[in-house]
A and B are shown apart, each in its own frame.
Chain A
């Protein structure tokens, strides 16, 4: 278990996975002509999918740590939360670039902003960019207690982006719910556990 935890906790492991996903789903298909009849749309969808799943996994890690505080594996993965968050932002920016190209440049991009669907994605991505820019140690020191408050905006970004994903196409909710339901369940379980342990603590001090 320790060996596995050490591998999983290594920075190189995280980097390999996060870059590897892009190579596997974007670069190799592009170089081998596997993007199908509408290649730009395929890249648009793939980048969006990678971004939302990465964001989903980073938000799953905190409650998992609360629920399984002794698990070495989860502890190791939790060290990568900053990487995961920044990666979600970078794939999100790639997704936005694909949208820009798909709409055929500035004119099409500006027109696309008449749709609430686009605003959901754009505002979610803006939050991710702010969080990525303030993810370094220097910002964390500078912002002090406000850093944690600011970075709770990740939950708002996730809500906006999951809504964006679930209305992105006919029947896309059936994809998005595979992220929504697990995340909601984990968060609920985390609150219940925190509440129970706080009550136990209160009982212990009372008696």
Chain B
């Protein structure tokens, strides 16, 4: 009688996946949609904090009738100079082993409750996340509409309890020259820094995002936690935050330090004040293909009702 002897690498027929199941699996992945599948299959190290999902859409920030920018444009067209100067570099270079979960963020400076949090713990401490659709206007005269997930910055400020002498907040991005090659050069004063006045930071629009399109932030979008101030130019939204400090004087900010005549501290979206090299009157709509066209830029990016009063009496031409 012939008794086949199975070697360690030989699988019994019973262990094989039936062809039908195999094909269905491919079908299933295909129907899952590219974006969803990609996020679901991303290893944990390549995305940010996963706590709190799904968050529900805040009805005050629905932007009725506005078309969202496709996910592949939002995650493939990025300014994130730590990971390259071109728009398509961050989606590649920020995903080559840079870990954004777990991630510690430090809250300090002039406040009663300085603390360090792992970002997931911070999300839990603040009662979870919500979704908001925000217009996004880059200083380079292009725009998107982005569904962010996260929490209002005001919640974090309430937790930290700033002292009376705190007038500004400074945001400091990650600094990790070991993994981030750009930060080994002295071309820019790394780490990236940004700032808001306390009044701006406690405005209902100021938002700390931990997600995009209902999923944890991708690394190229500033995982695991970033600032979103939709009435200001995009560069104000410091990414991959390591520190949030309450300070008494206006903090230094990277682009203002590099080119103070081009990038002001306020950087409010303003179609009437041109950049020295281009007009800010119009913006190109990203993700609409070759001839997507342009649309007129709105003052404060369309959020004048919410933030206009913050700048009453301020000369916006001088304080650009």
Which A residues form the contact surface with B (CB < 8 A)? 36-42, 102, 104, 108, 111-112, 114-118, 167-172, 174-175
Name the contact of B255 in the complex, choosing from A104, A170, A172 (C-beta under 8 A): A170
Of the residues A39, A108, A174, contact of B85 by C-beta under 8 Å: A174
Q: Count CB-based A-B contacts (< 8 Å).
A: 61
Partner of A115, one of B81, B187, B276: B276
Q: Which of B169-202 contact A (CB under 8 A)?
A: 187-188
Residue of B nearest to A40 (CB): B290
- CA A41 – CA B88 in complex, angstroms? 12
Which residue of A is nearest B285, CB measured? A38
State in angstroms the CA–CA spacing of A169 and B79 once bound together: 11
Which residues of B are found within 8 Å of A115, using beta-carbon distances? 274, 276-278
What is the chain B residue whose CB lies nearest that of A164?
Answer: B277
Task: Give me 10 A-to-B residue pairs in the complex whose CB atoms sit less than 8 angstroms apart, sorted by A's number.
Answer: A37-B76, A37-B87, A40-B291, A108-B282, A115-B276, A115-B278, A117-B276, A170-B235, A171-B258, A174-B187
Which residues in A have their C-beta under 8 angstroms from that of B88? 36
Q: Which residues of A contact B157 (CB under 8 A)?
A: none
Task: List the 8 closest A-B pairs by CB distance, nearest first.
Answer: A37-B77, A37-B73, A117-B277, A37-B286, A39-B290, A174-B187, A37-B287, A115-B277
Which residues of A are found within 8 Å of B187, using beta-carbon distances? 171, 174
CB-based contact B279/A38 at 8 Å: no
- List chain B residues, Cβ under 8 A from A168: 277
How many whole Å from B311's CB to the nearest CB in chain A?
A: 25
**A115 CA to B85 CA, complexed, in Å:** 23
Q: Is A36 a contact partner of B279 (Cβ separation < 8 A)? A: no
B25 at interface by CB-CB < 8 Å: no
Contacts of A108 in B (CB 8 A): 282
Check: B294 CB closer than 8 A to any chain A CB.
yes
Q: Does B289 make an interface contact (CB < 8 A)?
A: yes
CA gap between A170 and B275 in the complex, in Å: 12
Chain A residues whose CB sits within 8 angstroms of the CB of B79 once the complex forms:
170
B278 touches A112 (CB 8 A): yes
With contacts A115-B276, A170-B258 taken as known, whether A41 is within 8 angstroms of B81 at the C-beta atoms is: no
C-alpha spacing A39/B73, complex, angstroms: 11
Given A104-B293, A104-B294, A174-B85, decide whether A38 and B142 contact each other with a Cβ distance below 8 A: yes
Q: How far is the CB of A37 from chain B (nearest CB, A)?
A: 4
Residues of B within 8 A of A40 (CB): 290-291
A170 and B87 contacting across the interface, CB-CB below 8 Å: no
Interface residues on B, range: 20 to 34
Distance between Cα atoms of A172 and B278 in the complex (Å): 15
In the bound complex, CA of A169 to CA of B294 (Å): 20
Asked whether any CB of chain A lies closer than 8 Å to the CB of B101, the reply is no
Q: How far is the CA of A102 from the CA of B142 in the complex (A)?
A: 11
Contacts of B73 in A (CB 8 A): 37
Q: How far is the CB of A25 from chain B (nearest CB, A)?
A: 13
Q: Name the CB-closest residue of B to A120.
A: B277
Contact of A36 among B77, B188, B263 (CB under 8 A): B77
Give Cα A168–Cα B293 distance, bound, in whole angstroms: 21
The answer to whether A171 and B188 touch across the interface, beta carbons within 8 angstroms, is yes
Complex Cα spacing A37 to B187, Å = 27
Contact present for A111 and B284 (CB under 8 Å): no
**A-B contacts besides A36-B76, A171-B188, 9 pairs, CB < 8 Å:** A37-B77, A38-B87, A39-B290, A40-B290, A112-B278, A115-B277, A168-B277, A171-B187, A174-B85
Q: Which residues of A contact B258 (CB under 8 A)?
A: 170-171
Look across to chain B and name the residue whose beta carbon is closest to the beta carbon of A177: B187
Contacting residues of chain B (97-140) with chain A, CB-CB under 8 angstroms? 140
B277 to chain A, nearest CB (A): 4
B276 touches A111 (CB 8 A): no
Provide the residues of chain A in CB contact with B142, threshold 8 Å.
Answer: 38, 41
Chain A hits for B140, CB < 8 A:
169
A34 to B140, CA, bound (A): 21
In the bound assembly, the distance between CA atoms of A117 and B278 in angstroms comes to 8
What chain A residues lie within 8 Å of B85 (beta carbons)?
Answer: 169, 171-172, 174-175
Query: Please, which residue of chain B has its CB at the minimum distance from the CB of A101?
Result: B291
- Complex CA distance for A118 and B277, rounded to whole angstroms: 8
Distance in angstroms between the alpha carbons of A79 and B77 in the assembled complex: 41
CB distance from B68 to the nearest CB of A (A): 13
For residue A175, which residues in chain B have a CB less than 8 angstroms away from its CB? 85
Q: In the assembly, what is the distance between CA of A61 and CA of B240, in Å?
A: 45
Task: Give the most central of B73, B277, B282, B287: most A CB within 10 Å.
Answer: B277
Beta-carbon contact of B279 and A170 below 8 Å: no
- B259 → A minimal CB distance (Å): 8
Q: How distant is A145 from chain B, measured CB to nearest CB, in Å?
A: 40
In the bound assembly, the distance between CA atoms of A168 and B86 in angstroms comes to 13
Smallest beta-carbon distance B23→chain A, Å: 28
Q: How far apart are the CA atoms of A145 and B282 in the complex, in Å?
A: 49
Cα–Cα, bound, A168→B286 (Å): 20
